[in-house]
Amino acid sequence: MKRDDDNNGGNGSGDDLDHGVAVKSRTKTKKPSMYKVLMLNDDYTPMEFVIQVLEQFFAKNHDEATKIMLHVHQKGVGVCGVFTYEVAETKVNQTMDLAQQHQHPLQCTIEKD
């Protein structure tokens, strides 16, 4: 999908309509960089806890959460979602805080997409 970034209403020329006066107004918008939240496998965190985290903080349904958890369990690492930096950071903190409260060693990290 093409974006009309130059805030001139999309006439494409960056100026006003054709009345002989060119008035440029251009405010460039930039798409934010996106970041993956990765979940790491360990030998101790219960599978059901990982599924609960994926449902609670990453808005996955039970089937999606189970699939991601099993992928991490088998491959060692998996993607929970892709977010702007602040959102990714919040989800990592929520996950690690809950894991710590339950004394599970679950780890997740952020990686630039």
Q: Which residues bind ligand TYC (CB under 6 A)?
A: 39-43, 45-47, 50, 69, 72-73, 106
Contact 49, 32 (CB under 8 A): no
Instruction: Report the alpha-carbon distance of residue 113 to residue 12 in Å, rounded.
Output: 31
Smallest gap from residue 65 Cβ to ligand TYC (A):
11
> What is the DSSP code (8-state) at residue 3?
-
Q: Which residue lies nearer to ligand TYC by CB, 15 or 71?
A: 71
Q: Which has the closest alpha carbon to 95: 34, 33, 38? A: 38
Q: Which residue lies nearer to ligand TYC by CB, 11 or 93?
A: 93
Q: Which residue lies nearer to ligand TYC by CB, 4 or 48?
A: 48
Instruction: Report the alpha-carbon distance of residue 28 to residue 34 in Å, rounded.
Output: 18
Q: SS3 for 26?
A: coil
Smallest gap from residue 72 Cβ to ligand TYC (A):
4
Smallest gap from residue 6 Cβ to ligand TYC (A):
44
Backbone angles phi, psi at 110, to 5 degrees: -110, 140
Q: Which residue lies nearer to ligand TYC by CB, 16 or 55?
A: 55
